[in-house]
Structure 1
Amino acid sequence: MSVYYTSDTHYSHKNIIQHENRPFHSVEEMNEFLIEQWNETVNNNDTVYHLGDFVFGGITKWESIIPRLKGKIHLTVGNHDNANAVKKIANHFEEVENMIVRNIDKQHLFLFHYPIEIGLTPNAYSIHGHIHSRPSNHVNQINVGIDSPFTRDTVGFGNLIPEELILEELKNRKEQVLELRSK
């Protein structure tokens, strides 16, 4: 069983194609590509933490995407996630929260749609989406959105990030945090 992180898929969101310069001619093409990428990576017993802006639109849009995706999905709600649709389809998720806190190897991961500033703490990290292709502002923030520089550099656009890569990145960033704290 593997664990993955992602955000800002924006399934069914036509304007995101132009806004983020995604390489698609239609929302249908984008949806199919992202579903294929997801299912090539994730198995049914794997866990996925999706940090918001999952599907753009009402319940019909959600019902056309969610059942097609493999894995046990934990959702933190994003600003473009329709609250009524999420309530109606919540049974398809392991949990639906505003924020999830995970403790792994003495590291505190705050999983939230928005980047949060938590100070220069070497064991606390904001794992987030929301800012799309812009990099995070602080060393202890990791943008896992499918358009993010971190995603593009580690696994490629549209792919989910394995937890092992997140933990490896945290080790690298911990040294930077400690160095910044010493100044």
Structure 2
Amino acid sequence: MPQTWYTSDTHFCHNNILKHENRPYATVEEMNESLIEIWNKTVSNNDTIYHLGDFVFGGSTKWESILSRLKGNIHLVVGNHDDKKMIKKFTDKFASVEDMITKKIDKQHLFLFHYPIEIGLTPNAYSIHGHIHGRESNYVNQINVGVDSPFTKGAVGFGNLIPEELLLSELKIRKELVMELRSNKGENM
């Protein structure tokens, strides 16, 4: 049965990300190979992946070399480091290319965007994002699914994709926290 996965900020072919995020690789080629291997061990050809931006750095050859090797149907949410000219050349390789995707799952509204969105203490709305790499999200209803994020590292390990069922499980926990925060805020008014 096909599954759905979430990730962000792979930064394939980006040399500087190795030092900026202290990734555990000596070279960008080693990083690319490791992230591709992790991806393809996890994802099947019929799976859906939501990649929330900062996908590949470089020209057509680099994009082709990465895209041709990844399994699954990739929905790309454009990040600040994604080259729009390259995306245009490879649009047919993606299931979709969007600036933001909204999804509703089990009454939960998910805003899939490269950047974290401040939603407020809303128990059924969540910002699923990347962009901030190894930093925690600022709010309880924001989840950073980037490969370097504390959430990813703690839940599935660096570089791994987040399965939708794990994300939904985390949303249930966070909904309780949102409700508690709302309740406490009401007591202080």
TM-score in same-fold range (> 0.5): yes
Hey, what's the Cα distance between the residues in 2 that align with 1:97 and 1:103?
Answer: 17
- Please, which runs of 5 or more residues in structure 1 have no aligned partner? none
Corresponding residue of 2:77: 76
The answer as to whether partners of 1:57 and 1:81 remain within 8 angstroms in 2 is no
The answer as to whether partners of 1:20 and 1:132 remain within 8 angstroms in 2 is yes
**Following superposition of structure 1 onto structure 2, how do residues 102-117 of structure 1 map, counting pairs within 5 Å?**
102-117=103-118
Hey, what's the Cα distance between the residues in 1 that align with 2:142 and 2:155?
Answer: 15
Corresponding residue of 2:145: 144
- Please, which runs of 5 or more residues in structure 2 have no aligned partner? none
**Following superposition of structure 1 onto structure 2, how do residues 1-183 of structure 1 map, counting pairs within 5 Å?**
1-182=2-183, 183=185
Which of these two proteins has the greater Rg computed from alpha carbons? Answer: 2
Hey, what's the Cα distance between the residues in 2 that align with 1:62 and 1:102?
Answer: 27
Once the two structures are TM-superposed, the CA of residue 56 in structure 1 deviates from its matched residue by: 1.1
Once the two structures are TM-superposed, the CA of residue 61 in structure 1 deviates from its matched residue by: 1.2
Hey, what's the Cα distance between the residues in 2 that align with 1:6 and 1:59?
Answer: 22
The answer as to whether partners of 1:8 and 1:51 remain within 8 angstroms in 2 is yes
Q: Percent identity?
A: 73
Q: TM-score of the superposition, structure 2-length normalised?
A: 0.96
**4+ residue segments displaced more than 2 Å:** none
Aligned residues: 183
Deviations 1:138-167 (A, max 9, x none): 000000000000000000000000000000
Deviations 1:57-105 (A, max 9, x none): 1222111100100000000000010110000001000000000001000
Q: TM-score of the superposition, structure 1-length normalised?
A: 0.99
Hey, what's the Cα distance between the residues in 2 that align with 1:83 and 1:43?
Answer: 27
Once the two structures are TM-superposed, the CA of residue 45 in structure 1 deviates from its matched residue by: 0.3
Question: Tell me, what secondary structure is at the counterpart of 2:90?
Answer: helix
